[in-house]
Amino acid sequence: MEKIIYRRPVQYYETDRMQIVHHSNYIRWMEEIRVAFMKEHGMPYHQLEADGILMPVLGVTCQYQMPLQFGDIFSAGCHITDYNGVRLTLSYEIYKEGCDRCCVTGTSQHCFTNADRKPIRLPRRNAALHDLFLSLLEQDIAEKL
16 flagged as catalytic: yes
3-state secondary structure of 113: strand
C-alpha radius of gyration, the chain, whole number = 16
Dist CA 36 CA 43 (whole Å): 10
Q: Which stretch binds a second copy (CB under 8 A): 19-27, 85-93, 119-127, 129-137?
A: 19-27
8 Å CB contact between 96 and 46: no
Question: Can residue 126 be called a binding residue for a second copy (CB under 8 A)?
Answer: no
Question: Can residue 91 be called a binding residue for a second copy (CB under 8 A)?
Answer: no
Question: Can residue 49 be called a binding residue for a second copy (CB under 8 A)?
Answer: yes
Q: Which one among 44, 89, 123, 134 touches a second copy, defined by CB under 8 A? A: 44
Q: Which residues are catalytic?
A: 16
